[in-house]
Amino acid sequence: MGGFWNEKTYLPENAGYSLFSARYFLFLSLCLFIAALAVFLYGRASEKRKNILLRIFAWIALGMEILKTVVLLAQGCFTPNYYPIGFCSLVIYLYPLYICIPNGKAREVLRCIICAVMLPAGLVTLLFPNWIGQYPFLSYFSLHSYIWHTLMIVYPLWTWQKEREPLRFRYLSPGFASVLCLIPIIVLINSLAGTNYWFLSAPTDNHPLAPIHHALGTWGYFTILVLVGVAVASLSAWIQNLFIPRCLKKASTSEPAVTEP
């Protein structure tokens, strides 16, 4: 396959760029601009188009994952490290379930996970990307990662624009419990396959909790990681409930009404 499609095995060492470099800030700014533009344009769409976009983009991540698997298989690089069970890979299950499940309470739980958990996960990953040292920007795996994590920011905000309802904290608990119940399964897979899904075994060099791992070791890092995850998700839900309804109300009074075609 051409160089654009190459997995890191077939690229020179240090083919990418460093964290907090000029290119890092350029590409981060580009992703945030695209996310802001997507949210702005979605807000101006009619209700019918909002529903269509939510349904289409619920399946985009799954399509991207299938394409990535095909590319990896073609290069003989589909190893256990590429199974679709990474933390950010949860969106390939959450987004379609959110669209397809008819039960209102179940949809609220899923929306809480999508907004309170996956949105900050996508943002943190864009801020501390672990692929930039391995891939040049204009390569398939780099673009895949940037698009994926930008979608993790955009889609939750679209659900806010569509539902216009606050995240109810009584639905956050089952949402957190659902994610936490997966941790023993991921730990088992990591131990059997020698992988590091959800960064439960150790952080990457770009991970914000890397100093904690160096200072406290594996179990100290693991405990802090889980506690920080719950705290960040709870804080994310509180911040979103505090600011997003005000922004939506202000936007609704300033934007012209959109009629159905």
CA atoms of 260 and 251, how far apart (whole Å): 19
Tokens for 119, please give them: 């949105």
Mark out the alpha helices in 102-260 (DSSP H runs): 104-112, 119-127, 140-163, 169-181, 183-193, 210-254
The 3-class secondary structure across 25-56, one letter per residue, is HHHHHHHHHHHHHHHHHHHCCCHHHHHHHHHH
CA atoms of 61 and 87, how far apart (whole Å): 13
Vertex 185: Cα angle to 181 and 190 (nearest 5): 135
| Each residue's pLDDT expressed in tens, for the chain with a length of 261 residues | 558 999 999 998 888 999 999 999 999 999 999 999 999 999 999 999 999 999 999 999 999 999 999 999 999 999 999 999 999 999 999 999 999 999 889 999 999 999 999 999 999 999 999 999 999 999 999 999 999 999 999 999 999 999 999 998 888 888 888 888 999 999 999 999 999 999 998 888 777 888 888 888 888 988 999 899 999 999 999 999 999 998 988 877 765 544 444
Tokens for 150, please give them: 């930008």
CA atoms of 97 and 219, how far apart (whole Å): 33
Residue type, 1: M
